[in-house]
Amino acid sequence: MSDLHENVSMQPWRGFASDNYAGVHPQILEALTRVNSGHQVAYGDDSITAELDERMAALFGRPVGVYPVFNGTGANVVALSSIMNQWEAVVCTNTAHIHMDEGGAPEKVAGIKLWTVPGVNGKLTPDLIRSAAHDFGFVHYAQPGAVSIAQSTEMGTVYTVEEVAAISECAHELGLRVHMDGARIANAAAALGVPVADFTINAGVDILSFGGTKNGMLMGEVIVVFNPDVVHGVEYFRKSFMQLNSKMRFASAQMIALLSEDLWLKSATHANEMAQKLKSAVEKIPGIAIEVPTDANAVFARMPEEVVERLQSKWRFYTWDSPTLVRWMCSWDTQESDVDAFATDIAAEMAARNAN
Amino acid sequence: MSDLHENVSMQPWRGFASDNYAGVHPQILEALTRVNSGHQVAYGDDSITAELDERMAALFGRPVGVYPVFNGTGANVVALSSIMNQWEAVVCTNTAHIHMDEGGAPEKVAGIKLWTVPGVNGKLTPDLIRSAAHDFGFVHYAQPGAVSIAQSTEMGTVYTVEEVAAISECAHELGLRVHMDGARIANAAAALGVPVADFTINAGVDILSFGGTKNGMLMGEVIVVFNPDVVHGVEYFRKSFMQLNSKMRFASAQMIALLSEDLWLKSATHANEMAQKLKSAVEKIPGIAIEVPTDANAVFARMPEEVVERLQSKWRFYTWDSPTLVRWMCSWDTQESDVDAFATDIAAEMAARNAN
Amino acid sequence: MSDLHENVSMQPWRGFASDNYAGVHPQILEALTRVNSGHQVAYGDDSITAELDERMAALFGRPVGVYPVFNGTGANVVALSSIMNQWEAVVCTNTAHIHMDEGGAPEKVAGIKLWTVPGVNGKLTPDLIRSAAHDFGFVHYAQPGAVSIAQSTEMGTVYTVEEVAAISECAHELGLRVHMDGARIANAAAALGVPVADFTINAGVDILSFGGTKNGMLMGEVIVVFNPDVVHGVEYFRKSFMQLNSKMRFASAQMIALLSEDLWLKSATHANEMAQKLKSAVEKIPGIAIEVPTDANAVFARMPEEVVERLQSKWRFYTWDSPTLVRWMCSWDTQESDVDAFATDIAAEMAARNAN
Amino acid sequence: MSDLHENVSMQPWRGFASDNYAGVHPQILEALTRVNSGHQVAYGDDSITAELDERMAALFGRPVGVYPVFNGTGANVVALSSIMNQWEAVVCTNTAHIHMDEGGAPEKVAGIKLWTVPGVNGKLTPDLIRSAAHDFGFVHYAQPGAVSIAQSTEMGTVYTVEEVAAISECAHELGLRVHMDGARIANAAAALGVPVADFTINAGVDILSFGGTKNGMLMGEVIVVFNPDVVHGVEYFRKSFMQLNSKMRFASAQMIALLSEDLWLKSATHANEMAQKLKSAVEKIPGIAIEVPTDANAVFARMPEEVVERLQSKWRFYTWDSPTLVRWMCSWDTQESDVDAFATDIAAEMAARNAN
């Protein structure tokens, strides 16, 4: 049996597969030690979680409901359940994480049906919402109860403040509530350059999954309740749906560290910049097309399959739906040198291929 | 807005409320730093989780399935689902954590019905299993599919090797599978003084929730599959039931650290000893009765309600079902001086009360 | 392949197994033909179902919500879901049909956890409710949200008007809603000799499963909503939980026929009388003990196992939990001669046994 | 309060809204009376249901599993659950009844996720299946476990024998099981003019929802199991999912009557012919376009919205997705004179409109 120390002494590496592949930001790791003395009441009645409440209130400009959970899927399913009736359905894009990447958790844990619509670069619009939100009162059609949008989206695009506001307005007119999946909300905030409140609480969003894991936390997301009038039972759903962290101080401390000194925005800004750098480097290479606007920290590029395969033998990244569409994610720890090296390899492989 | 540092600089304290109130063992915190360099594949395909597989195989004497999850409820519900048909039910005691303390997660997440039986000091027996496992093939009676026992139990008792083996034998004869909720398996192993394999894999248990959080981890439990012939879809249930950790290396590293140098057993042995010390100190106080055998790290005592209340104004602990029945939990970080101080306070309050 | 006509030309028989074994009352069968001309709007927007609304309003003294469904389990699960939050639990006896006889439907279809208490002859009491309805606001304990009682009960007993009122008062004080499983409500009404409204809508019951199948209908129960303030989404739950009858006129017509000319009460009164007759005949036989008060149409008797077995070779009936406890059900079509013949056989078998 | 007799003495009418609007075929009503003597064992252990087993075996050419249920949604959800693992998903068209018209029952009752694909005139193809059935073993993507097709489809089209066989072959190659929603299987059989076994059991279908309600039954469908190797727990799912009929003899007798003397085929053939007659009459009217092939008993036509509205003031029928697309259903009781009168009205309204 090998020893852990040896095992991880192998050469560290970084790739462009996912912001989940990155580790924990050192300031966040330090925060764990700082709160690790003595006992604290479990399950959230601790002083550190109380502190997180204040931080979130400050961030959003007024008191909000704050519910740390384990992961993004958990945040989404608990948040959606708390704004819906049990018989209702959620309108989202067909590229949404809740549809494509959560192993059916909304359906299997909470019985939530999804009404999916195509999306435009991964984004929902009022017209698309209306195309699915109809037949109110007709029992045969699972009744639309909420809209869920991701900010930034699975396609790396970012809703403008106006787009979010228009979606909320449309949803509310129809009697639907609005959930935002903010697994990468920091990247959206960094991209938009406006206060996060502007495109959330002040843009009509009712409940938010505020992401931490993809932005340098060890694990943890926070459900943030903006509109308590349409939200019910978050604390019970969190427990019953197995997302209640017993030693919650360690989750809250991570999020506090993330919010401190704008670490969340600095990390996201850096990741976004690395994506821009990568995009700039590859978009001029003949034979490569940027398929989706690079608003945040993801680059979606179309390129020959054989080049994809050769690159994947050296670098970790995923294709997306098609063997010729690649997704390259940058993260808080992506180095300029990583981008340079990767872009150089891409250019070389493309050149070799084009030479044939 | 106060500052975190100030906030937590308040005097640290320790109580007897729960092993969940304790912090993270320093060796486990260190392990986080050690695995925090570079990228790792997310969701468990990392080298640290592979290392955990080997550690668990060594612990149990042969290869086992290893599935880290977030928390105990998650471990239990995923494990149970993976050994049951969707229409089946689980036999357990009416004091079981899955029944009393999981907010209905088995029912609400997985549709699992529980057939509860009274239990003897929190323990199941073959006769009790038979009292609930009947009417096979009769569709009106939710079909018994599995037995779930906790080791150590919610009442702080520990099954002997023979008791577990007898339960497994009875269950298997009836066609049921056997789950062990090992949220405090370390305390049981320490109490029994035998290899953990003896009362798990070698005693007929099919699947185990191996606890970490209550024994000094920041968060994390591991589902361990012993009998793959009766287990299906653990990896899918883990995902769909929202228990799949993306940066899993940090969960696995904690568990590896817990298993290294017998830290898990040392910590549990210490907690058990502190419980024995507390029990010895209070059992001789007139007016206090130890209600349940103190097999592991919990002391259940009967005492006057007014004394309970006065003690709770100074020390944190819970009553159990009745205002005169208290549960005192010891943990890896309980100090001898904590026990001495607490026992002294108890004796003083009882003396004051008896003097009236 | 045999022909249906031949097949059913075998000698008809009647037993004491279940009121579900009986056929359809002729007046109810006739009603099917009467409404079978032309088209009607499906799913309940037909003129016959509108007529049923009026009949129910007349029966209960004011407008009520009327929702025909397929069967009793469906009525119970839809009704309970419509008075609960998704995270809540139901308090009921451990002999309740929803617990013992519905194949886990409450848990599996609706994620409803049941907090069961022992019951006194199958009846709940305010004290028993309080023993399970506690820890409000404590997320670990599945939150009590409703009480469910059966009238008459699975044990053949009947709540008095005062007992129902006391249960409702207790439940409402605790913030719980009240469901009545009236699969055999006609037998209860007949036994009590008071208007059905007295022990339902006027006794604080919020929602009722009004039974038809066990009282001479082909199939069908009706959910009756008394307190719309605490009921939500019945029409959606009915659809989503697969209890919405498309050709509903035929279900409604049966229930109208049942309510017409007091057929429901006459049939139930007859069944109750047959049970009294049977009880009177057997209670004086040495070696037989009536175990539960014979309030309605069920007789529960304790007798020697060997006699049970001999009787079952000639008559159909079930044992209950134990091979020496039998349940004999009378139905709308039980004949006096059936009771006489059965009682004679029982007496003869007991005499033969006692002679040995 | 009005009297039922008066109430239904209003002039009977027939429309083209749905085959669910039609009543019960007289031969089926008669069958209820024929089996209504004496007691029968409840829940399916009766002699009439045994007779149905034989009838179905004869129909499909070998013994099959036969499970009567209440309605089509129930048949579909129970059948699908019995061929899937709990974590899996179903591939179907986005016009499928299980997706659009069941109030989310698959998701809400059984946690089944649907992977929908566009469909060609409501029909699935092997290529469409492959477009959704991928990423096997990738836990984030809800694992495809089954294919569900409707025969005839929601769009009134009918799969050929070869099309069904190709779908089954593709599905089985991918490891998926095949469910057929046969709510209108009689119309498909009538349309194809081949034995029903040819496009079901002999074409690789694993499990079938055999429809009765839309073809002249009062209520009732039958789940038919062709491939027991891939089906598990139908009897338990039927009970737990609230689809177990207690007085099952009356459901079985209806289905036996439907199958007797080819009543099912005669009724469906008639309905199909009425649809052809209607289609022929309207397709030559200028301004009306038949949008989907009229394979069975549904006519889908495109026509001006104002004409639709005027016609709906006199005749009952539904629009489909758009105010200019209408669906006209014919049923077992549609009369030639109904079609003539309706076609005349359509022609007149169109003429009036075209004259403007």
- pLDDT 10s digits, D110-162: 999 999 999 999 999 999 999 999 999 999 999 999 999 999 999 999 999 99
Nearest-angstrom CA–CA distance, D355 and C189: 66
Output the CA angle B171-B173-B178, nearest 5 degrees.
Answer: 25
pLDDT of residue A129 exceeding 90: yes
**Chain centre to alpha carbon of residue A114:** 19
Q: Is the pLDDT of residue A192 over 60?
A: yes
A142 → closest Cβ in D103, D116, D140: D103
C105/chain A closest Cα distance in angstroms: 15
What are the pLDDT digits (tens) for A72-119?
999 999 999 999 999 999 999 999 999 999 999 999 999 999 999 999
For C242, the closest chain A residue by CA position comes to A140
Give the number of B-C residue pairs with CB atoms closer than 8 Å: 51
Q: How confident is the model at residue B355 (pLDDT cuts 50, 70, 90)?
A: confident
Buried b or exposed e, range B79-117, using 16+ CB within 10 angstroms:
bbbbbbebbbbbbbbebbbbbbbbbbbbbbbbbbbbbbb
List the single residue in C29, C31, C55 with the smallest CB-CB distance to D36: C29
The C-alpha of D110 sits at a distance from chain A's nearest C-alpha, in angstroms, of 8
* Beta carbons of D334 and D215 less than 8 angstroms apart: no
Residues of B whose CB is below 8 A from A108: 240-241
CATH tag, C263-355: 3.90.1150.10
pLDDT of B3 > 80? The answer is no
Beta-carbon separation of D238 and B140 below 8 A: no
Q: How many CB pairs under 8 A join B and D?
A: 46
Residue of D nearest to A132 (CA): D321
Instruction: Kindly report, as residue ranges, where domains of CATH 3.40.640.10 are found in chain A.
Output: 26-261
When pLDDT is averaged across residues B23-28 and rounded to a whole number, the result is 98
Q: What is the pLDDT of residue B10?
A: 57
Residue of chain B whose alpha carbon sits nearest to that of C85:
B108
B7 pLDDT higher than 70: no
Q: What is the pLDDT of residues D4-57, one digit of tens each?
A: 344 434 578 999 999 999 999 999 999 999 999 999 999 999 999 999 999 999
Residue D356 pLDDT level (bands cut at 50, 70, 90): confident
Contacts of B139 in chain D (CB under 8 A): 43, 235-236, 238-239, 244
Write down the pLDDT at residue C4.
37
Contact between B43 and D232 using a beta-carbon 8 Å cutoff: no
User: How would you write D245-281 as a 3-class SS string?
Assistant: CCCCHHHHHHHHHHHHHHHHHHHHHHHHHHHHHHHHH
State pLDDT tens for residues B292-302: 999 999 999 99
Return the percentage of chain B with pLDDT > 90, whole number: 96
Q: Which residues is C93 bridged to in the sheet?
A: C117
Mutation for A interface: D80, D86, D100, D113, most A CBs within 10 A = D113
What is the domain class of D26-261 according to CATH? alpha beta
Q: Which residues of C touch A237 (CB under 8 A)?
A: 86-87
Query: b/e string for D126-152 if b means 16 or more Cβ within 10 A?
Result: bebbbebbeeeeebbbbbbbbbbbbbb
Q: What is the per-residue pLDDT across B215-248, written as a single tens digit (0 to 9) for each? A: 999 999 999 999 999 999 999 999 999 999 999 9
Distance CA D212, CA D217 (A): 5
Q: Which chains touch C (3 or more CB pairs under 8 A)?
A: A, B, D
Q: Which chains touch A (3 or more CB pairs under 8 A)?
A: B, C, D
| Chain segment B291-327, per-residue pLDDT in tens | 999 999 999 999 999 999 999 999 999 999 899 999 9
Q: Which residues on chain B place their C-beta less than 8 Å from a C-beta of chain C? A: 86-87, 89, 100-104, 107-109, 111-113, 116, 139-142
Which positions in chain C touch D15 (Cβ < 8 Å)?
39
Residue C209 DSSP class: E
The shortest CB-CB distance from C87 to any of A140, A142, A240 is to A240
Q: In chain D, which segments carry CATH 3.90.1150.10?
A: 263-355
Q: Which residues pair with B349 in a beta bridge?
A: none
Q: Which two tokens stand for residue D231?
A: 């089906």
**Is A87–C143 a contact, with Cβ atoms under 8 angstroms apart?**
no
What parts of chain C have a pLDDT lower than 50?
1-9
By Cβ distance, the residue of A110, A139, A233 closest to C236 is A139
pLDDT confidence bin for B5, thresholds 50/70/90: very low
* Residue to substitute from D8, D34, D316, interface C, most C β-carbons within 10 A: D8
Looking at the predicted structure, is the pLDDT value of residue B44 above 80? yes
Residue C2: the pLDDT is 35
Tell me the per-residue pLDDT of D221-266, one tens digit each, with 9 for 90 and over: 999 999 999 999 999 999 999 999 999 999 999 999 999 999 999 9
Q: How is chain D split among helix, strand and coil, in percent rounded to 5? A: 45, 15, 35
Cross-chain Cβ contact B87/D143 below 8 Å: no
ipTM score here? 0.96
pLDDT at residue number A10: 56
Q: Shortest CB distance from A86 goes to which of C86, C139, C235? A: C86
Considering only CA atoms, which of A334, A203, A187 is closest in space to residue A265?
A187
How far is it, in rounded angstroms, from Cα C23 to Cα C29? 10
Contact A233 C43 (CB under 8 A): no
Q: Mark yes or no for CB contact A113/D107 under 8 Å.
A: yes
Show contacts of C164-169: CB within 8 Å, 24+ apart: C164/C199, C164/C200, C164/C203, C164/C204, C164/C205, C165/C203, C165/C204, C166/C125, C166/C126, C167/C124, C167/C125, C167/C126, C167/C129, C167/C204, C168/C203, C168/C204, C168/C205, C169/C126, C169/C204
Count C/D contacts: CB-CB distance under 8 Å. 220
Contact between A38 and B12 using a beta-carbon 8 Å cutoff? yes
Query: In this complex, do D219 and C260 lie within 8 Å of one another by their Cβ atoms?
Result: no
By Cβ distance, the residue of C43, C85, C237 closest to A87 is C237
What predicted TM-score, i.e. pTM, was given to this entire model?
Answer: 0.96
Q: Exposed, middle or buried, B208 (CB in 10 Å: 0-12/13-18/19+)?
A: buried
**Are residues B81 and B112 in contact, defined by beta-carbon separation less than 8 angstroms?**
yes
Q: What's the N-to-C CA distance of chain B in angstroms? A: 48
Q: Assign D166 a pLDDT band (cuts: 50, 70, 90).
A: very high
pLDDT score of C1 = 30
CB pair distance less than 8 Å for A108 and D104: no
Number of other residues whose CB lies within 10 A of the CB of residue D265: 18
Contact C139 A43 (CB under 8 A): yes
CB nearest to C142's CB, from B104, B141, B142? B104
